[in-house]
């Protein structure tokens, strides 16, 4: 699977996406509005310098402090076992330590994965994972690096391009990738049972269809449903309800409330269209992000310990605490001031002191 194929697949999906424009929210239209920028070999190789804007939190905090905090909580061995050995995408905010590269975005995903290990992978044999809106594949890499499972990634064509390249560069070469060009060659217009058996990783756009027999043991959505309108969220929930396996899990990490500038409406997690056949496994604030909720549910039809309907009411009460502040429009001036403040703090405190702290912690 070479870069030329990835760019060709992206081109096909990009033009087909015009027939499914409702899948692209205004948020992503801001970032995914330049075909030539994405359809460029050099830009793809360096995708974490610009192309991943909008889905990459690598720049949001001091990565060294996050590394120390997460190592203290999860253990040095767990963290380093899940880091990568190449700076794929040439991220300017990625740092090398003990032969591994890390940045704030991927550290957050390692923390998220620890929860999945304890509450999902240790409780069920996970054979098929499906991530909706997985960014450039950061969490997918961690899961596939540590588990023998198949993986479906569903995203917009630009996200799929980045994910394909990133996973190709970070996973073993024997992994078999199923891309949009493979999908176009399917006889029945859907991913067949035979293809599901023969491939390991499926990277497809939202309009792709799957055989009814597909069963997914773990669905994942982290911070992308909050960018969708309710009809699109409903379509994804219909897909999840249809294909979730008995006892399967759903990880949902999204804002309590997100103001949609294009419609003037707010998307609230407590209004996501869960049916009543979910049991709550984990429900808490997201690590380092109190305005985001971290929710793991399990597919059940009886013997509930905490049914989702009651938990959504609790989340609704928590949402009210954020409603006023999160409904404020983020003006360009406000965003500019926030970014400037972040850069000034980094210059004042510097990376050198943080590196010294890390050296002491990992000796």
Note the pLDDT tens digit of each residue in 229-248: 899 999 999 999 999 999 99
More confident residue, 338 or 244: 244
Same domain, 50 and 98: yes
The mean per-residue pLDDT over the stretch 4-26 comes to: 88
Count up the domains in the chain and report the number: 2
Same domain, 163 and 215: yes
Rg (CA), the chain: 20
Same domain, 344 and 196: no
Same domain, 318 and 341: no
For residues 228, 230, 231, 234, the Cα torsion angle rounded to the nearest 10 degrees is: 100
Same domain, 84 and 114: yes
Note the pLDDT tens digit of each residue in 271-307: 999 999 999 999 999 998 889 999 999 999 999 999 9
Same domain, 270 and 352: no
Helices (H), the chain: 3-16, 26-31, 35-38, 41-45, 63-74, 76-81, 104-116, 138-146, 157-170, 180-184, 193-198, 230-243, 308-326, 332-349, 351-362
The mean per-residue pLDDT over the stretch 10-19 comes to: 93
Same domain, 107 and 215: yes
Q: How is residue 320 written in tokens?
A: 């009210």
Same domain, 232 and 108: yes
Same domain, 205 and 342: no
Residue 351 confidence (pLDDT) above 60: no
Q: How is residue 328 written in tokens?
A: 């404020």
Residues of the chain with pLDDT > 90: what percent? 72
Same domain, 342 and 321: no
The boundaries of the domain holding residue 33 are 3-326
Q: What is the number of other CB atoms lying within 10 angstroms of the CB of residue 362? A: 14
Residue 206 confidence (pLDDT) above 90: yes
Same domain, 210 and 341: no
The CATH number assigned to the domain holding 225 equals: 3.40.50.150
Residue 264 confidence (pLDDT) above 80: no
Same domain, 47 and 109: yes
The mean per-residue pLDDT over the stretch 18-23 comes to: 78
């Amino acid at each position: 699977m070479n870069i030329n194929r990835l760019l060709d697949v992206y081109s096909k999906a990009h033009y087909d996406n015009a027939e499914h424009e409702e899948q692209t929210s205004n948020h992503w239209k801001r970032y995914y509005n330049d075909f030539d920028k994405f359809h460029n070999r050099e830009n793809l190789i360096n995708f974490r310098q610009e192309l991943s804007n909008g889905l990459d939190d690598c720049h949001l905090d001091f990565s060294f402090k996050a590394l120390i905090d997460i190592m203290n909580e999860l253990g040095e061995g767990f963290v380093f076992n899940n880091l990568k050995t190449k700076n794929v995408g040439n991220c300017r905010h990625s740092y090398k330590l003990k032969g591994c590269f890390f940045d704030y975005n991927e550290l957050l995903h390692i923390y998220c994965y620890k929860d999945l290990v304890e509450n999902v992978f240790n409780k069920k044999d996970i054979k098929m994972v499906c991530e909706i809106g997985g960014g450039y594949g950061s969490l997918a890499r961690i899961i596939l690096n540590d588990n023998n499972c198949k993986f479906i990634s569903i995203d917009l064509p630009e996200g799929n391009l980045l994910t394909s390249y990133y996973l190709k560069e970070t996973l073993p070469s024997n992994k078999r990738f199923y891309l949009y060009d493979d999908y176009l060659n399917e006889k029945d217009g859907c991913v067949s049972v035979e293809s599901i058996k023969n491939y390991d990783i499926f990277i497809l756009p939202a309009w792709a269809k799957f055989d009814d027999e597909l069963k997914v043991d773990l669905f994942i959505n982290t911070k992308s449903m909050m960018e969708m309108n309710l009809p699109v969220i409903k379509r994804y929930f219909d897909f999840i309800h249809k294909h979730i396996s008995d006892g399967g899990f759903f990880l949902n990490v999204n804002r309590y409330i997100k103001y949609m500038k294009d419609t003037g409406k707010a998307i609230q997690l407590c209004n996501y269209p869960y049916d009543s056949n979910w049991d709550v496994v984990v429900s808490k604030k997201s690590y380092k992000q109190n305005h985001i909720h971290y929710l793991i549910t399990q597919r059940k039809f009886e013997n509930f310990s905490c049914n989702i309907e009651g938990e959504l009411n609790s989340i609704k009460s928590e949402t009210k605490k954020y409603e006023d502040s999160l409904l404020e429009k983020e003006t360009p001036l406000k965003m500019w001031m926030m970014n400037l403040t972040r850069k000034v703090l980094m210059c004042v405190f510097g990376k050198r002191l943080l590196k010294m702290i890390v050296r002491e912690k990992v000796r």
